[in-house]
Amino acid sequence: MLAVLDAISHADDTRPVTAQASAQVNACNDAPCLAPLHLPGLQLQGLHLPSLHLPGLPALDPVVLAPMSGITDKPFRRMARRFGAGLLVTEMVASAALLREIKDSRKLKDCVDDESPISVQLAGIEAETMGEAAKVAIDRGADMVDVNFGCPAKKVTAKASGSALMRDEPRAIAILEAVARAAQQAAPGLPVSVKMRLGWDESCHNAAYLARVAEDLGFAMVVVHGRTRCQFYKGQADWRAVAQVRKAVKLPVLVNGDISDPSTARQALQQSGAAGVMLGRAAEGRPWLIRQVADDLTGRAVQAEPSWDEKRAAVEVFMAEMLEHYGTASGLRNARKHLAWFAHGLPDAAEFRRQVMKADDLAGIESCLQRFFQAPEQQAEQQAELQPQQLPQQLPVQRAKAA
């Protein structure tokens, strides 16, 4: 580790980089306040972002679906891919569990068979375990491995994992080293990335420092969520602060946090100078958004929003895959939040949500989808045929018949 630390060029980070010093910076209190970065003017309009080029992978869209535990599972990722998403990332997989083939290893089950290009995200605190888990993930077909330094959840940080690693730099560096080495041994040239927050708290923005360590170790990409861990999801992501990371390294940096459409993606890129964006919550119930933002940023014709009919067909396939992946009871339970999100903008969303909560098998869900996800034009036609005074009595009758 010493050699690596010594080799890092600290262009504008004056902290010493010996192992002893790295223990000192552990508390992060002496993190320098970096000067604001002035990027050569990226234009909001007319910005055409090039593809991402990572070793051994085809050219990728510079828009990536964020890993979200409990959300971006295999069925959701597959749906996003059917709508044109490029690189996929698994939910975080606990490295220790992966090695013991328990619980979390299900997340990896079959995840890489037909999802290429896919990155497997690993979480953990033991460098050796993380390295071994990286080998297992690669052995199962991962095209890329991602290290989680970003998760703020208490149950994760309480075990000193996820974003808690950002306040334990020696451990974080040992993990980066172990994963880089393991990946190099298992599949020379396979890209490895790290996903971070800006730092632990406002007094400790050390993402740029850790990104430089990662770059020196041969990492291929860094993703930065523009918040500290202590911010959780409060306030607004600071895309300008991500520019400090982008300035510190030559490898591609993806900016993440609060990107919800092409316009916010452009603002985030303009303020950070990043090579691409990663977006998460905005894609809940809208897996087509990844492709739409990528189309816009790369100058392609933007794919239209799917019609309600197309959404219904997509959700039916998704539901069948959820039940196959988790079994009926867990599949239905895990799918409910997705169904609620898919209903966003539906004329009768509240009633749809009430009905699907009651459905206890796939046929019940499909029946709800058939009834509620009718093309808006069809609904408009039906409503136009009804006299205004008939609406309250007739609409429930129509539904009852359809059921």
Catalytic residues: 151
Report in angstroms how near the CB of residue 107 gets to ligand FMN at its nearest.
9
Nearer to ligand FMN, 92 or 314 (CB): 92
For residue 249, which of 4, 10, 3, 25 has the smallest C-alpha distance? 10
Report in angstroms how near the CB of residue 259 gets to ligand FMN at its nearest.
5
Report in angstroms how near the CB of residue 279 gets to ligand FMN at its nearest.
4
195 binds ligand FMN (CB under 6 A): yes
The answer to whether 178 and 152 have CB atoms below 8 angstroms apart is no
119 binds ligand FMN (CB under 6 A): no
The answer to whether 196 and 173 have CB atoms below 8 angstroms apart is no
* Single-letter amino acid, residue 157: T
How large is the C-alpha radius of gyration of the chain? 23
148 binds ligand FMN (CB under 6 A): yes
121 binds ligand FMN (CB under 6 A): yes
269 binds ligand FMN (CB under 6 A): no
67 binds ligand FMN (CB under 6 A): yes
Element (H, E) at 167: none
Nearer to ligand FMN, 40 or 70 (CB): 70
Nearer to ligand FMN, 120 or 356 (CB): 120
Give the span between the Cα atoms of 26 and 67, in whole angstroms.
Answer: 27
Report in angstroms how near the CB of residue 121 gets to ligand FMN at its nearest.
6
Locate all alpha helices (DSSP H) within 109-206, ordered by sequence: 127-139, 154-157, 169-186
Residue from 57, 71, 133, 265 in contact with ligand FMN (CB under 6 A): 71
- Total residues contacting ligand FMN (rule CB under 6 A)? 22
Q: Rule CB under 6 A: which of 150-179 touch ligand FMN? A: 150-151
216 binds ligand FMN (CB under 6 A): no
Nearer to ligand FMN, 256 or 272 (CB): 256
From residue 75, give the alpha-carbon distance in Å to each of 65, 87, 187, 283, 320.
14, 15, 27, 14, 9
268 binds ligand FMN (CB under 6 A): no
273 binds ligand FMN (CB under 6 A): no
Stretch that binds ligand FMN, among 132-140, 254-262, 295-303, 384-392 (CB under 6 A): 254-262
Report in angstroms how near the CB of residue 276 gets to ligand FMN at its nearest.
13
Give the span between the Cα atoms of 9 and 17, in whole angstroms.
Answer: 9
Nearer to ligand FMN, 28 or 242 (CB): 242
74, two tokens: 């295999």
187, two tokens: 């599949």
85 binds ligand FMN (CB under 6 A): no
Give the span between the Cα atoms of 402 and 199, in whole angstroms.
Answer: 54
374 binds ligand FMN (CB under 6 A): no
The answer to whether 267 and 255 have CB atoms below 8 angstroms apart is no
252 binds ligand FMN (CB under 6 A): no
Report in angstroms how near the CB of residue 63 gets to ligand FMN at its nearest.
11
Residue from 129, 256, 272, 334 in contact with ligand FMN (CB under 6 A): 256
For residue 257, which of 46, 51, 68, 52 has the smallest C-alpha distance? 68
The answer to whether 179 and 147 have CB atoms below 8 angstroms apart is yes
Residue from 259, 319, 322, 339 in contact with ligand FMN (CB under 6 A): 259
Report in angstroms how near the CB of residue 69 gets to ligand FMN at its nearest.
4
Residues in the chain: 403
Give the span between the Cα atoms of 114 and 96, in whole angstroms.
Answer: 25
The answer to whether 62 and 50 have CB atoms below 8 angstroms apart is yes
Report in angstroms how near the CB of residue 225 gets to ligand FMN at its nearest.
4
Mutual orientation of helices 239-248 and 262-272 as an angle, nearest 10°? Answer: 50
Minimal CB distance residue for ligand FMN = 280
Nearer to ligand FMN, 62 or 67 (CB): 67
Give the span between the Cα atoms of 91 and 118, in whole angstroms.
Answer: 11
Nearer to ligand FMN, 174 or 242 (CB): 242
Residue 73: phi and psi, rounded to 5, are -80, -175
The answer to whether 279 and 260 have CB atoms below 8 angstroms apart is yes
Binding residues for ligand FMN (CB under 6 A)? 66-71, 91-92, 121, 148, 150-151, 195, 225, 256-259, 279-282
